[in-house]
Structure 1
Amino acid sequence: MSCALALLSAAAHGSSWLIDLAGDVPAALGLVEPAGPGVHDWIGSATAGLPAFEALGVPAAEGMVLIPKGAASPHALVDSARWAELGQYLAACPTRVVVDAGSWLPPPQFLAAAQHQLLVIRPCYLALRRAAASMVVPTGVVVVHEPGRALRAQDVAYAVQAPVVAEISTDPAVARAVDAGLLASRLPRSLAVALSDLAA
């Protein structure tokens, strides 16, 4: 979802950054895994400044720059004051920024700077329990519908105490695009339509 949102943001606004905290973005976009340092390495450095952070970026698609995860472990860096510095910098950045945290919960000092915090979730009872237990209330929820689920979007919104801002139905075209490494060049229409308002 983050890849699609960053691609749509670049198309709508001319440029976007996709910050990959989890490490799945290169594979999802069909890119060669970046070999250099990444965002977690920058966080772990005591000397690297903001120009060094910008230099981490690699072109991922037209108008879109990927800031890769890097080699450092995020779990050893959760208390770093650099998270607050990075969050404030990204919040003031004129470029549209999308952060993909995967299932990892970024430090609160980083989250505090975010203008929006989106939870992407299936209407699954166990997934909703885990989301509620995280004690983080998102500003919006993207619901990924699967066949046979009894829970509805309004049930998800009630459980996590946040509005549903987009709904996506499971689409085999998305899996095919990712498997073929074509997500960046052939974004499935189902994703483009569902996320267009968020990228506007």
Structure 2
Amino acid sequence: MITLCHAVKGGSGTTVVACTRAINSPGPALLVDFEGDVPLALGLDRPVRPGVIDWLASRAPSAHLDDLLVEVTPNCSLLPAFETAADVLTGETERWDQLVDWLTEWTNDSGGSVVIDAGTTRLPMQFVEQCPHRWLVTRACYLSLRRSCHLRVRPTGVVLIDEPGRALRRTDVESSIGAPVVATLAWDVRIARSVDAGLLLSGRLPRPLHRAFARVAA
């Protein structure tokens, strides 16, 4: 299973959602980082080897992607971004198709799942369309929902960040975006502090965060 996590506004919590989903996966998991924030959020050293964006800009065969993986936990590996040049993400169609093929092969061989942290990066449509699960991470914010109406590829699910004081409800979000809410995460200052301190791997996150994704685990 390949799950793409994305957002229409920065600061929505996409990296937290992607990391938590991957780390809490019941089987092997591969976390793909297109934003470059995952190592910092997890408290990992910045990778010294190339990443997925460098691979897209190269002519290296798909097999080289195996050499770029970084172990996060015994059950979870990271394919880092490394290069941050946004124009690379426009890459050739063939390279993106090769990446999808490699990710699909990884899931088939491992029996695990792939979680992609796309953040607000505009990935090519032919890549996004080939991701079976596309989760939009959003707050119940009028501006975010308005932007979501103009997405080129519709989400298959929504991860709702439930902030206190918002007037819009879950049903409003679902009807506006046209996709079901697959998980609801209550806004919690402890999560922000854990991210700022690079402690997402420490096990100190509130239990409701883990339980929310246990319900949608493959």
* Pairing 1:93–2:101 present: no
1:3 corresponds to which residue? 19
Q: Is the 8 A contact 1:144 1:168 kept in 2?
A: yes
Distance verdict in 2 for CA 1:153–1:131, change over 3 Å: same
* Pairing 1:188–2:201 present: no
Matches of 2:84 and 2:68, distance apart in 1: 14
Matches of 1:196 and 1:123, distance apart in 2: 22
Per the normalisation by structure 1, the TM-score is 0.92
2:150 corresponds to which residue? 133
Per the normalisation by structure 2, the TM-score is 0.85
Q: Identify which of 49, 59, 74 aligns with 1:36.
A: 49
- Number of residue pairs matched by the alignment: 196
2:37 corresponds to which residue? 24
Q: Identify which of 103, 124, 134 aligns with 2:120.
A: 103
Q: Is the 8 A contact 2:33 2:78 kept in 1?
A: yes
* Pairing 1:69–2:81 present: yes
Shift of 1:105: 2.4
Shift of 1:72: 5.0
Shift of 1:40: 0.6
Unaligned runs of at least 5 residues, structure 1: none
Q: Is the 8 A contact 1:6 1:64 kept in 2?
A: yes
Q: Is the 8 A contact 2:62 2:98 kept in 1?
A: no
Distance verdict in 2 for CA 1:36–1:96, change over 3 Å: same
SS in 1 for 2:36: coil
1:149 corresponds to which residue? 166
Matches of 1:61 and 1:21, distance apart in 2: 20
Unaligned runs of at least 5 residues, structure 2: 1-16
Query: Considering only aligned residues, what root-mean-square deviation do their CA atoms show, in Å?
Result: 1.5
Identity across the alignment (%): 43
